[in-house]
């Protein structure tokens, strides 16, 4: 191992959302272990910090554009890591994935249109739709013993004349599925047939564990690519979410032009110089680091699975195929969300995300972020076990 992921880093007093907002979010003075917000406690790799430092050393931080090397770095990464060959010209900037989703809603649907999402799902999907005056259409995932799949019958039934778009999470946060080619193909073909625009949020694409693979939605076929806007970012993978830098891949030139005109109308296209250099460094220097980081996270997931199965039979989960998030089923406890949260905060001293925030079908579930050191994970799980022993 070239990198040390066991290194403990104190994030307190850095205006860090995950740590420094604990008291407000969990309404407690207790020193709870924060395992909620999806960023990592593992250090942002040195080659990214060096790229940022080098740029920071220059005396002026004026307006800058993204050079050809930035676009080529992304295109090379996608080809090597995901077997997806794209023209660098099909890349458009986005200040973040969620802003990109919101821009797409504005650009490619009309007020009052129906937009499909697949709950339980990353909750800003709901707000980007609702707050832009569109209607949410919920194609709930099918839950079979904590393993989730797409309900294609429901999907077909719910499409009507007002349905113009679907937003998918590929891989899926929070249920951890890395959708298979056949699943994406079936979904894509339904969208082609019904003239639905596909927004594919692929922010977790670099966090898929073998033997599973990330399949970019737009790589399935030209017809599907023609109606797909793909959002990706180095933010989750390289722990640099604070740099506000992501991108869209839009192979359909007409759609790309429309997307860019919305981006430019808000003057969001420049981005920030540190995000630009960090992105380029990540995608040119990051392959080994990502492989090692994924091994570490996978070992955390395996550890959590063993520990919970052996020690806490009241809860269960299926190992995620992707993401550093686990989706824990607490339904056996028969607690309301509030009671469950109180139990986790006050008895176990851990802070997780409440399931019902991800969808009405997810009450009794909790999302736990395992992108922490093994030591922190062991402490958190021991606290959880202890809490159950007092129950």
Ligand X SMILES: Cc1ncc(COP(=O)(O)O)c(C=O)c1O
Applying CB under 6 A, the residues found at the interface with ligand X are: 38, 96-98, 122, 169, 173, 201, 203, 233, 235, 241, 246
The distance of closest approach from Cβ of residue 387 to ligand X in the complex, given in angstroms and rounded to an integer, is 26
The distance of closest approach from Cβ of residue 174 to ligand X in the complex, given in angstroms and rounded to an integer, is 8
The distance of closest approach from Cβ of residue 94 to ligand X in the complex, given in angstroms and rounded to an integer, is 8
**Going by C-beta distance under 8 Å and a sequence separation of 6 or more, which residues neighbour residue 316?**
146, 308, 309, 328, 329, 332
Residue 117 or 196: the one with the smaller Cβ distance to ligand X is: 117
The distance of closest approach from Cβ of residue 325 to ligand X in the complex, given in angstroms and rounded to an integer, is 8
CA distance 245 to 243: 6
CA distance 25 to 133: 28
Residue 106 or 241: the one with the smaller Cβ distance to ligand X is: 241
Residue 42 or 241: the one with the smaller Cβ distance to ligand X is: 241
CA distance 121 to 169: 7
Q: Is 123 exposed, middle or buried (0-12, 13-18, 19+ CB in 10 A)?
A: middle
Residue 169 or 300: the one with the smaller Cβ distance to ligand X is: 169
76: enclosing H helix or E strand: helix 68-82
Residue 128 or 376: the one with the smaller Cβ distance to ligand X is: 128
The distance of closest approach from Cβ of residue 161 to ligand X in the complex, given in angstroms and rounded to an integer, is 29
The distance of closest approach from Cβ of residue 202 to ligand X in the complex, given in angstroms and rounded to an integer, is 8
Residue 118 or 251: the one with the smaller Cβ distance to ligand X is: 118
- Percentage helix, strand, coil for the chain under 3-state DSSP, each rounded to 5: 45, 15, 40
The distance of closest approach from Cβ of residue 58 to ligand X in the complex, given in angstroms and rounded to an integer, is 26
Beta pairing class for 163-169 and 197-201: parallel
Residue 246 or 251: the one with the smaller Cβ distance to ligand X is: 246
Residue at shortest CB range from ligand X: 96
The string of DSSP letters for 225-253 reads HTTEEEEE-STTTTT-GGG--EEEE--SH
Which value, to the nearest 10 degrees, does the dihedral of the CA atoms of residues 354, 328, 37, 56 take?
-170
The distance of closest approach from Cβ of residue 106 to ligand X in the complex, given in angstroms and rounded to an integer, is 15
Residue 122 or 343: the one with the smaller Cβ distance to ligand X is: 122
Q: What is the DSSP letter of 63?
A: -
CA distance 304 to 327: 12
182: enclosing H helix or E strand: helix 181-193
Beta bridge mates, 57: none
The distance of closest approach from Cβ of residue 217 to ligand X in the complex, given in angstroms and rounded to an integer, is 13
Residue 108 or 122: the one with the smaller Cβ distance to ligand X is: 122
Neighbour tally for 371: CB within 10 Å: 23
């Amino acid at each position: 191992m070239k990198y040390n992921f066991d290194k403990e880093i104190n994030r307190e007093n850095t205006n860090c959302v995950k740590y420094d907002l604990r008291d407000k979010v969990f309404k407690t003075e207790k020193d709870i272990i924060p395992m909620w917000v999806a960023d990592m406690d593992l250090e942002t790799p040195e080659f990214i910090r060096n790229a940022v430092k080098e740029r920071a050393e220059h005396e002026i931080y004026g307006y800058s554009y993204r050079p050809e090397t930035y676009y080529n770095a992304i295109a090379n990464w996608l080809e090597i890591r995901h077997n997806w060959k794209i023209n660098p010209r099909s890349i458009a900037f986005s200040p973040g994935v969620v802003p990109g989703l919101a821009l797409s809603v504005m650009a490619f649907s009309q007020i009052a249109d129906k937009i499909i999402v697949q709950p339980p799902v990353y909750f800003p999907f709901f707000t980007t739709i609702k707050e832009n005056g569109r209607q949410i259409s919920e194609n709930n995932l099918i839950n079979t013993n904590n393993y989730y799949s797409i309900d294609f019958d429901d999907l077909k039934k719910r499409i009507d004349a007002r349905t113009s778009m679907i937003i998918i999470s590929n891989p899926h946060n929070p249920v951890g599925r890395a959708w298979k080619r056949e699943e994406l193909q079936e979904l894509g073909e339904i969208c082609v047939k019904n003239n639905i625009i596909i927004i594919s949020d692929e922010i977790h694409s670099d966090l898929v564990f073998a033997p599973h693979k990330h399949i970019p939605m737009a790589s399935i076929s030209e017809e599907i690519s023609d109606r797909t806007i793909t959002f990706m970012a180095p933010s989750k993978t390289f722990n640099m979410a604070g740099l506000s830098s992501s991108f869209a891949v839009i192979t359909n030139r007409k759609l790309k032009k429309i997307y860019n005109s919305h981006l430019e109308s808000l003057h969001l296209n420049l981005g920030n110089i540190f995000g630009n250099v960090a992105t380029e460094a990540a995608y040119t220097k990051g392959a080994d680091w990502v492989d090692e980081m994924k091994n570490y996270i996978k070992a955390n997931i395996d550890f959590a699975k063993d520990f919970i199965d052996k020690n806490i039979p009241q809860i269960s989960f299926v190992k995620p195929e992707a993401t550093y998030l686990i989706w824990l089923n607490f339904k056996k406890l028969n607690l309301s969300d509030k009671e469950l949260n109180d139990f986790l905060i006050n008895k176990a001293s851990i802070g997780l995300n409440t399931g019902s925030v991800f969808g009405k079908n997810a009450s009794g579930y909790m999302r736990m972020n395992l992108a922490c050191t093994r030591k922190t994970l062991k402490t958190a799980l021991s606290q959880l076990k202890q809490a159950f022993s007092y129950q």
